[in-house]
Structure 1
Amino acid sequence: MRVLLVEDDDRLAAALTTALTRHGHQVVRAARAVDALRLAGGADFVLLDLGLPDMDGLEVLRRVRRSSAVPLIVVTARVEEREVLRGLRSGADDYLVKPFRTAELMARMEAVVRRGTRPQPARDQVVCVGDVRIDLACRRVYVADEPVTLTRREFDVLALLARQPGVVRSREEILDEVWGDPLLSASRSLDVHVAGLRAKTGRPGLVVTLRGTGYRLGSPP
């Protein structure tokens, strides 16, 4: 397999490259997030460190998952349960904490490949709620066929709800997926963005609030 190794530690990268090559893999190493994002499209498997110098690895993971279902294992020194959950919820297929044995890494890679990759994100998926049309692939929203300009996070919140229209998303889940921090649940950031969605579309029922539970996409009238 063509393995993209995203690791800024030269010594560890060299050791992993040797081990992966010994197991028959072709390894391309990226030490920075910008290079990882450029190379991810040509990889069969990605090993991603989270502590990168130019961008947090979780943001790299989210960006990769917007366009690719490539098998991916997070390989990091972050051991906190919160970090593990954030990695898995952001789209990692597995999460391996340093230090680890090479044999364990190889076994986990084989297990991920056996499970198969997730379906590719729908590139032409359009969700309609009444006269509101949400184009997930193009990141555009139309109301009565007129385009509506949303901020990046406003669209991200709406897209998260639109991908599974009948599913209720908790505040913590939305904050984790969109802001990358579920501990922001006490702030008003999410409320402000939901209010912005309702105001800009002129459709108060587009996002439904379920008190004490979370939010879901509204139903067509």
Structure 2
Amino acid sequence: MSNAPHILVVDDEPQIQRAIRTILTEKGFKVTVASSGNEGLTLAAVNEPDIVILDLGLPDMDGVEVCIRLREWTQCPIIILSVRDSEHDKVAALDKGADDYLTKPFGIEELLARVRVALRHSAGRQGAQSKVVRAGELTIDLAWHIVKRGDDEVKLTGTEYKLLAYLAGNHGRVLTHQSILSNVWDPADANHTEYLRVYMRQLRKKLELDPERPQYILTEPGIGYRFIADE
């Protein structure tokens, strides 16, 4: 277990703590639990976990504040696990540094899938992954700015490529409209979602076999988008 990924669970519900600990321990993960925001921050600093699973409704502080404070010093993936399911709550958490958002009650397989995605993304942040992202028949070379579908190179405009590179470079993460607009365009354009809709439509036409049923660039309704890459 010494080399097992370490997951910190910050949640004040004992039954949720027990359930997640059981699920993850059975899959070979090392699990530490905290019942408050301050305890979670302390354990994160001491143990430097590979993933933080975080509830928003903590007894001493809001989970969004925990996200903000974690992001001051660590880039480890943060998965929100909360009963709050409004778009406002999801966007607020994702904009403040969370990587993913899962609503309670949750399915075991979905939780495990989100954990696997977070671990892959964490490896990418540490430089363990190649600069080439593969998704089905798509190949995106982030170093050489080359995009191929099968053996054919896909011609993209500068903005289309920048948008795709941001999505693919953060594959598996839910990216909010605001974060995409701020990074691909400019922070001053963070509310101009019409830009994003137009370019996303163009990008899907060039990349997806069926743009109306996308396989690679998925919409998170009311929140943003997620790029799905191969494992």
- Give the TM bin, normalised by the shorter chain: 0.5 to 0.7
In structure 2, what is the equivalent of residue 60 of structure 1? Answer: 66
When residues 115 and 44 of structure 1 are mapped into structure 2, their CA distance, relative to the original with a 3 A threshold, is closer
In structure 2, what is the equivalent of residue 36 of structure 1? Answer: 40
In structure 1, what is the equivalent of residue 15 of structure 2? Answer: 11
Question: Which consecutive residues of structure 2, in runs of 5 or more, have no partner in the other structure?
Answer: 127-182, 192-231
- Measured after TM superposition, the shift of residue 39 of structure 1 is 1.1
Conserved? CA contact 1:76–1:98, under 8 Å: yes
DSSP 3-state at the match of 2:187 = coil
- Measured after TM superposition, the shift of residue 81 of structure 1 is 0.4
In the alignment, the residues of structure 2 paired with residue 115 and residue 106 of structure 1 have an alpha-carbon distance, to the nearest angstrom, of: 14
DSSP 3-state at the match of 1:3 = strand
DSSP 3-state at the match of 1:116 = helix
1:92 to 80, 94, 98: 98
When residues 85 and 99 of structure 1 are mapped into structure 2, their CA distance, relative to the original with a 3 A threshold, is same
- Measured after TM superposition, the shift of residue 12 of structure 1 is 1.3
- Measured after TM superposition, the shift of residue 40 of structure 1 is 1.3
Aligned: 1:21 with 2:25: yes
- Measured after TM superposition, the shift of residue 168 of structure 1 is 3.4
The alignment of Structure 1 onto Structure 2 pairs a total of residues equal to: 130
| TM-score normalised by length of structure 1 | 0.54
Conserved? CA contact 1:3–1:46, under 8 Å: yes
When residues 86 and 118 of structure 1 are mapped into structure 2, their CA distance, relative to the original with a 3 A threshold, is farther
In the alignment, the residues of structure 2 paired with residue 16 and residue 36 of structure 1 have an alpha-carbon distance, to the nearest angstrom, of: 15
In the alignment, the residues of structure 1 paired with residue 12 and residue 189 of structure 2 have an alpha-carbon distance, to the nearest angstrom, of: 35
DSSP 3-state at the match of 1:34 = helix
In structure 2, what is the equivalent of residue 168 of structure 1? Answer: 187
In the alignment, the residues of structure 1 paired with residue 66 and residue 39 of structure 2 have an alpha-carbon distance, to the nearest angstrom, of: 10
Runs of 4+ in 1 over 3 A off after TM superposition: 116-120, 166-172
- Larger-gyration structure (1/2): 1
Deviations 1:51-84 (A, max 9, x none): 0000000000110011100111000000000111
- Measured after TM superposition, the shift of residue 113 of structure 1 is 1.7
Conserved? CA contact 2:51–2:118, under 8 Å: no
Conserved? CA contact 1:65–1:91, under 8 Å: yes
Letter of the 2:98 partner, please give it: A
Question: Which consecutive residues of structure 1, in runs of 5 or more, have no partner in the other structure?
Answer: 121-163, 173-221
When residues 14 and 67 of structure 1 are mapped into structure 2, their CA distance, relative to the original with a 3 A threshold, is same
In the alignment, the residues of structure 2 paired with residue 118 and residue 80 of structure 1 have an alpha-carbon distance, to the nearest angstrom, of: 30
| TM-score normalised by length of structure 2 | 0.52
Conserved? CA contact 1:70–1:117, under 8 Å: no
Conserved? CA contact 1:69–1:117, under 8 Å: no
In structure 2, what is the equivalent of residue 113 of structure 1? Answer: 119
Conserved? CA contact 1:45–1:70, under 8 Å: yes
